[in-house]
Structure 1
Amino acid sequence: MATAALAAVATLRAGPSDQGAPPPDFGPAAPARAAAASELPGPTEPSPPPAPRGERREAPPERVLVGDVGLNARVRPVGVTEQGAMAVPGDPAVAGWYRFGPAPGSPRGSAVLVGHVDGDTGALGEFAALYDVRPGARVEVRRAGAGSAVYRVVARATVPKAGLPSSTFRRTGPPVLTLVTCAPPFVPEAGGYQANLVVTAEPLPA
């Protein structure tokens, strides 16, 4: 599966792709914007420069867990493709962290984790579990060289591929964790899934 897309191929088995509609949403809806990319758009800002020598970097995420729905995925850093879309790990069991934005546990901005809902064999991806997430679900992000960053889910919204909220990749403002995967409808002739499921979680006190 191409790493640039959150779309799945046409050879799917039973699973979220067979649903006629995305799961019911909850929480406040974020404002949407038109996006130039047909897949998961990249950030609206250019990638930040490398941190100056000697400056402390944020601890990178290694694993994300949502015990209420059985999500347990290894996390690896990703960037953007030549087309400007955010890259996504090809393995549906692995989540991608947008390494040019905030890391989970950052005191500001939106830390973005993305993953496929299923793979080219029809096997469900770890992020398919987001279809069942409910308000208040605990999200733990285990980090390299630091303690876990812990969040609680406050919102879930389904948006068209071209309507991803502008706040998804923000680097300022209150800290949140943003989890993104694909959502129905699935239209093979149009390239696959036509929407994204966006889950927002707020940090819990340490």
Structure 2
Amino acid sequence: MGSSPRGGRRSAAAAAAAAALAVLPVWALWPSGAPAPSGFGDRPRAHERAAGASAGSDAAPGNASGPAAEPTALRVPRVALDAAVQGVGVEDDGTVEVPGDAGRAGWYRHGPAPGGSAGSAVLVGHVDDRTGALGAFAKLYAVRKGDDVLVARKHAPPVRYRVTAREVVGRDSLPAEVFRRHGQPVLTLVTCAPPYDRARGGYQRNLVVYATPAGPRP
């Protein structure tokens, strides 16, 4: 991930996280003139109910007895994305931590967890590493509307989501909804997007993929 959202350890972390982005050291895989991936669908809103959600189904995942379980792995089978997930917090400079291993995803543990009953569960990841090799989240460039997203959880059943939207935003324009703690649940995946401009600090955009809770497989 070329840039990461700001956040905090206080109750207002979600609002602070969406306020700005801070550039982390990254290495460009794409030429500076390469186009960003295209967007599709509409960003899920807090008041919207996930399509197909119904009482008693995993289309509205949650854990009524306590906090949702910690995520351990992320899979998007159609694009062969398969990454271990680790919890990440906030650096001293206010930026969200991103795993040093570009093959791993980081769950923003100060926000909702995947499988929670409300809010946006955020996973961040690098698009490439210092060697020029692809990071796990580079495969988000190939996702399509309707793709399954599976999240394994510690001491809990996995939860299933379905990709509904993708957008490319300026690195200083991450939507506030990305870090919301209320409203209908959504899984939000964030990585970097071209153009890459070394003189301006790296990647200039973020790719954001949204996936909403899906019912059991037919």
TM-score relative to the length of structure 2: 0.76
2:205 is equivalent to residue 189 of structure 1: no
2:120 is equivalent to residue 110 of structure 1: yes
Give the root-mean-square deviation of aligned CA atoms. 2.3
**Distance of 1:197 and 1:9 partners within structure 2:** 15
> What is the one-letter code of the residue matched to 2:152?
R
**Distance of 1:186 and 1:152 partners within structure 2:** 29
Query: Contact between 2:44 and 2:210, CA under 8 Å: does it hold in 1?
Result: no
**Distance of 1:198 and 1:27 partners within structure 2:** 12
What CA deviation, in whole Å up to 9, does each residue of 1:121-147 have, x standing for no partner? 101000000000000000000000011
What CA deviation, in whole Å up to 9, does each residue of 1:41-67 have, x standing for no partner? xxxxxxxxxxxxxx7332100000001
2:95 is equivalent to residue 85 of structure 1: yes
In the TM superposition, what is the alpha-carbon distance from 1:18 to its structure 2 partner?
Answer: 5.9
Matches within 5 A, 1:32-111: 56-111=66-121
Give the number of equivalent residue pairs.
180
Distance 1:16 1:66, change over 3 A: farther
**Distance of 2:132 and 2:113 partners within structure 1:** 31
In the TM superposition, what is the alpha-carbon distance from 1:29 to its structure 2 partner?
Answer: 4.6
Query: Contact between 1:92 and 1:125, CA under 8 Å: does it hold in 2?
Result: yes
**Distance of 1:100 and 1:89 partners within structure 2:** 15
Task: State which of 129, 135, 142 in structure 2 corresponds to 1:119.
Answer: 129
Which stretches of structure 1, 4 residues or longer, exceed 2 Å deviation after superposition?
Answer: 1-10, 15-19
SS of the counterpart of 1:179? Answer: strand
2:44 is equivalent to residue 27 of structure 1: no
Per mean C-alpha deviation after superposition, the further-off stretch among 19-28 and 96-105 is 19-28
2:141 is equivalent to residue 131 of structure 1: yes
In the TM superposition, what is the alpha-carbon distance from 1:9 to its structure 2 partner?
Answer: 3.2
SS of the counterpart of 1:129? Answer: helix
Percent of aligned pairs with the same residue?
A: 50
In the TM superposition, what is the alpha-carbon distance from 1:205 to its structure 2 partner?
Answer: 1.9
What CA deviation, in whole Å up to 9, does each residue of 1:168-202 have, x standing for no partner? 01000000000000000000111110110000000
In structure 1, runs of 5+ residues without a counterpart are 32-54
TM-score relative to the length of structure 1: 0.81
**Distance of 1:87 and 1:110 partners within structure 2:** 17
2:26 is equivalent to residue 9 of structure 1: yes
What CA deviation, in whole Å up to 9, does each residue of 1:51-87 have, x standing for no partner? xxxx733210000000111100000000111121211
Match of 1:203 in 2: 213
Query: Contact between 1:109 and 1:175, CA under 8 Å: does it hold in 2?
Result: yes
SS of the counterpart of 1:68? Answer: helix
Match of 2:14 in 1: none
Distance 1:2 1:175, change over 3 A: closer
What CA deviation, in whole Å up to 9, does each residue of 1:153-176 have, x standing for no partner? 000000001000000010000000
> What is the one-letter code of the residue matched to 2:86?
R
